[in-house]
Amino acid sequence: MAKSVLPALVPLEELGMAAEVWLKKRGFETQRFGNEKNVIVQARKGGTLSNVAGMAQALTVMLRIRNDGRLEVESGTAKWGDKALAGTVGFFAFFPLAITAGYGAYRQGKLVKEIHTFLKYYVKSYRE
């Protein structure tokens, strides 16, 4: 899981909605739920190509207001370790599996960094 702490300048619901729109623009199916203190956005891509490329896991972004009043952003993917294991096993057993699982892990790791960067700049540029 990646974690960032940002100033709480944006209402959580609005920030969750912005994250959801950002992910939808990249072709993800999303769902968002929460309350005034916690918002969770989940995103996934489905389909055979995504499964073969190792991209079938869901990205989860958790937004919450900390006790000190700042905004905490945590994000990660489900079963990340399984994907790395598939890459290792695949390398020895079936080389194309190693490539697709490794590529999927790389893309999802990149997506985690990109969503944190997006949220950081969204908060910085926020005007009421």
Residue pLDDT, tens place only, 27-50: 999 999 898 889 999 988 875 454
Claim: this prediction has a pTM higher than 0.75: no
| Number of domains comprising the chain | 1
Helix (H, G, I), strand (E, B) or coil at 27: coil
Helix (H, G, I), strand (E, B) or coil at 80: helix
CA–CA separation, 37 vs 110, rounded Å? 27
Asked, for residue 94, whether it belongs to a domain, the answer is no
Supply the pLDDT for residue 5. Answer: 94
93 vs 107, which has greater pLDDT? 107
Whether pLDDT at 93 is above 90: no
Asked, for residue 45, whether it belongs to a domain, the answer is yes
Asked, for residue 84, whether it belongs to a domain, the answer is no
Asked, for residue 21, whether it belongs to a domain, the answer is yes
In which domain, by residue range, is 67 found? Answer: 2-78+110-124
Q: What is the CATH number of the domain that holds 31?
A: 3.30.160.690
> Which two three-digit tokens encode residue 92?
């020895």
1 vs 119, which has greater pLDDT? 119
